[in-house]
Structures are given as structure tokens and as C-alpha cells.
Amino acid sequence: MSNYKPGLDYAKEQDTLDELASYRQQFHIPKDKNGKELIYLCGNSLGLQPKSTKTYINQELEDWANLGVDGHTHGKNPWLGYHEFLTESTAKLVGAKPIEVVTMNSLTANLHFMMASFYKPTKERNKILIESDAFPSDKYAVESQLRHHGYDDKEGLILWTPREGEELLRYEDLESLLETHGKEIALVMIGGVNYYTGQFFDFKRITTLGHKHGCMVGFDCAHGAGNVNLDLHNSGADFAVWCTYKYMNSGPGSLSGCFVHERHAHNKDLNRFTGWWSHNKATRFNMRHEFDVLPGAEGWQLSNPPILSMAAIKASLDLFSEVGFDKLLKKSKKLTGYFEYLLKALGEDTIRIITPEHPNERGCQLSIQVLKADKTLHTKLTEAGVVSDWREPDVIRCAPAPLYNSFTDVYLMVEKMKTILN
């Protein structure tokens, strides 16, 4: 959409026309010391709390208080299979089949569990390809996997790097890397939406390319889940992981999600770390049986689920299901497009957006370089009531999340930036 208009009246009109505007009232919006709502554009780091979350968690606290251990079987939401309450809605959100997803562990832990199964180095094929500016935890994880298997963590990494003077990655360069090094690469592991630039990668293109050269392919979707159309099943990726505390609004440090493509669902020979929750449900409590792995992504579980965290995830997923992700994506593209329009009106001599322009190549995040500015600009924005985040050396990341952000939020943020710059 290119027919945006300047002025506060237009922003307010768009909020009036927005069929999802009422969902903002279902979230706690942080306020300043005078009780005025802050402009919260930091859902890429931590999503806001749905007002229903407390009710969902309190239900489990009540069942624990009143039932004790019997909450596992007789609670309103029996704990024994609580993770299954999340499966259907999670699968829809990430574009997967129910057998392909599970909620468990933390993000980097899940990445390690996936690499235990899908990074299978040999003498000839042992390298890992990642983007050069991968999220640090991803880089540390793959380096440690290389060391664990006895390889040098610098020589074993192949980096997909932007061209000089550019921030975004080009697929032609990935193709060249795989043509040159494909026979040495065991795993391609890419951050699905780059945390710094906001570039959303073409999963199917990358997966097809990696598989063509005999590599396993996985994605860290921390900045993608609940933000973009991941379409994981159709991408053909071998695995993916994501956190739920960013765009999925499940609370700080909440559990991670995991995807394993259904073609691996019944392969009991895959190397994996196991625990009693990956064992056949029918005989799990017989205790003395030999291990019998569950099919699908559930077969990578280790432990019984942490219920309070899952209750917070359920609260958020129920909101997503009620709204419908297609409607959220439609609003997200319009809202971020409007944000881009306002920022560009500041002039190319002032700001530069390094996130891709095409709406299908980004989510709601825009990464803004303000020319000749340093972190003091971000500090002043914060003091003016804008919650965003700063990434060295010179980028302010802002993410208008369609579930709770408004067109007025975006307008006021740009006006505050304009005032500070002037």
C-alpha cells in the first residue's frame, strides 16, 4: 500500500478503521511515572502481557493448591498432557502439522538438541554454514557443537556474508558458497528473520539449495514466530526452533518451540538425547521398559512440562487463534508500511532503513540507522516515552506488533524522533 498520508488525523482514522484495534485493550501497556501509556515498539525483544495471562496461570496455581499431585490427572487442564493443549494452535501459527511441533525447553537448548540429531559430521563433511551476523547465541551454539565433535570452531564455520557496503544478504552469494563448499557442509543453520536487519529469508529457497548439496537445513525462528508466515512444513526444512516471549507474548524466558519435519517423524535411528517424556505415553510410567521413542517432534522432549510457563503460552495462543494469523499479517504489513512511509519523510540525509523494503522480505521490525547519531538519540527517545532498542554500532530497532500497537503509536514515535533530531 502506498496511499498513506501525513498527519495525526490520518493515523487516528486508520485506528478507527482497524478491525483489530480492540485487541490493544487486552494487553497491559506499560506507563510512565505520570500514568501515561508508553509507546511500546519492543515486541521483537519482549512481547507485552495479555491481561488473560494472570487468569490462566492462577487456574493452575489453584489446581496445585487444591489438588496437589492429582492436578496431573484431575485439574481443569490436566498437567500430564498440558503441552498437547498448545500443539494445534502452535502448528497453525508456524505453518506446520501437529506431529511436527512441540513446546519444550529454552531456545538455545532446543537448538543443541536439534544439532545432536541433525548435525552429523563426517571426515569429509563436517562444516556448519551460518549467516555472518547471526544472533550471538546461535553462533556460540554452533561453535560449541564443532568443538564438541573435535573440530576447530573457526575453520569449521562457513559464513554467509553481506557484500561490502551492504547489510542484507544475497542468495547468489549463498549459492556460490554452497557450490564451492557444499561437499564439506553438514548443516546449514540460518536465523529465519535476522535479529539486526530484520531480513526475512526465503526458507524454501534456502532449504532446496542446502538439500541439493546434501546438507541438513535448520532455522532459528526466534524473530519469526508470531511475526511472519513461516510455512515450515512446506519449506521442507529439517528442523526449526523459536522462542515464545517475543511476538508470541508468553513472558520473559518462557519456553521454546521446536519443529521437526514429518519425514523424520518415525525415524527411530536418528541420534538424539532422550528422557522419559520422549518415551511412549502408553508405557511411560511402567518405569522398567526399554526406551520406546514417541513419533514426531514429541520424541525430542526430555522432561515433564513446566505448567506455569505453558499456561502463559496458552493464554497468548488462544488470542492468536481468536484473531486469526492472516488478519494479523495483513495489519502488520499495513502498519509497518505506514511506519516506513513516515520515517522516509524525514529525509535520506537523516535516516536510513536497513530492513528490506519488500513486505514479504520482512516482518514488522524496521531497523533504523540515524546518520551521524549515536546512542544518545536512543536515550532521548526513551526519555520521551518510546520503548525501542539499540543495537551497536548504530541501529534502533522498532517493531510495531499488530496485536497491540496502533497507527497512532507509530505516528507519535516518528514525531518524537523528528523533534529530537531538530
In DSSP terms, which residues pair with 193 in a beta bridge?
Answer: 200
* Mean model confidence pLDDT for the chain: 96
**Does 243 score more than 60 pLDDT?**
yes
Q: For position 372, what pLDDT does the model report?
A: 80
Q: In 3D, which of 319, 330, 270 has the Cα closest to residue 295?
A: 270
- Check residue 99 and give its pLDDT: 98
Predicted local distance difference test score (pLDDT) of residue 294: 94
Q: Report the pLDDT value the prediction gives residue 285, as an integer from 0 to 100.
A: 87
For the chain, how many residues are written? Answer: 422
Phi, psi of 21 (to 5 degrees): -55, -35
Q: Decide if pLDDT at 216 tops 60.
A: yes
Helix axes 8-17, 325-344, angle to 10 degrees: 170
Q: What percent of the chain has pLDDT over 70?
A: 100
Q: Is the peptide bond before 30 cis (omega within 30 degrees of 0)?
A: no
Q: Give the β-pairing of 185-191 and 216-220.
A: parallel
What whole-number percentage of the chain has pLDDT above 90? 92
Q: In this model, does residue 10 exceed pLDDT 80? A: yes
The phi, psi pair for 169, rounded to 5°, reads: -90, 145
Report the pLDDT averaged over residues 144-155: 97
Is the confidence at residue 39, as pLDDT, over 70? yes
Domain with CATH 3.40.640.10 in the chain: 77-321
Average pLDDT over every residue of 173-177 = 98
Q: Is the pLDDT reported for residue 188 higher than 80?
A: yes
SS (H, E, C) the chain: CCCCCCCHHHHHHHHHHCCCHHHHHHECCCECCCCCECEECECCCCCCCECCHHHHHHHHHHHHHHHHHHHHHHCCCCHHHHHHHHHHHHHHHHCCCHHHEEEECCHHHHHHHHHHHHCCCCCCCCEEEEECCCCHHHHHHHHHHHHHCCCCCCCCEEEECCCCCCCCCCHHHHHHHHHHHHHHEEEEEEECECCCCCEECCHHHHHHHHHHCCCEEEEECCCCCCCCCCCHHHHCCCEEEEECCCCCCCCCCCCEEEEECHHHCCCCCCCCCCCHHHECCCCHHHCCCCCCECCCHHHHCCCCCCHHHHHHHHHHHHHHHHHCHHHHHHHHHHHHHHHHHHHHCCCCCCEEECCCCCHHHECCCEEEEECCCCHHHHHHHHHCCEECEEECCCEEEEECCCCCCCHHHHHHHHHHHHHHHC
- pLDDT tens-place string over residues 278-328: 999 988 888 787 889 999 999 999 999 999 999 999 999 999 999 999 999
The confidence score (pLDDT) of residue 371 equals: 83
Q: Please, where in the chain does CATH 3.90.1150.10 lie?
A: 8-51+324-421
> For residue 393, what pLDDT is reported?
84
Q: Look at residue 282 in the predicted model and tell me its pLDDT.
A: 87
Q: What does the pLDDT look like over 57-78, one tens digit per residue?
A: 999 999 999 999 999 999 999 9
**Over 90: is that where the pLDDT of 172 sits?**
yes
* Burial of residue 59 (number of CB atoms within 10 Å: 0-12, 13-18, 19+): middle
Per-residue pLDDT at 392:
85
CB atoms within 10 A of CB 312: 27
Non-local CB neighbours of 117 within 8 Å, separated by 6+ positions: 239, 270, 271, 272, 300
What residue has cell string 503441552?
83
Long-range contacts of 140-149 (CB under 8 A, 24+ apart): 140/108, 141/108, 141/111, 141/112, 141/115, 142/115, 142/187, 142/189, 145/112, 145/115, 145/119, 149/119, 149/121
CATH for the stretch 77-321: 3.40.640.10
pLDDT tens for residues 358-413?
Answer: 999 999 999 999 888 788 889 999 999 999 999 888 899 999 999 999 999 999 99
For 163-175, what is the mean pLDDT? 97
Q: What angle do CA 285, 289, 290 make, to 5 degrees?
A: 130
| Position 2 pLDDT exceeds 80 | no
Cα gap 4→340, rounded to integer Å = 10
pLDDT of amino acid 167: 95
Q: Which CATH number is associated with domain 8-51+324-421?
A: 3.90.1150.10
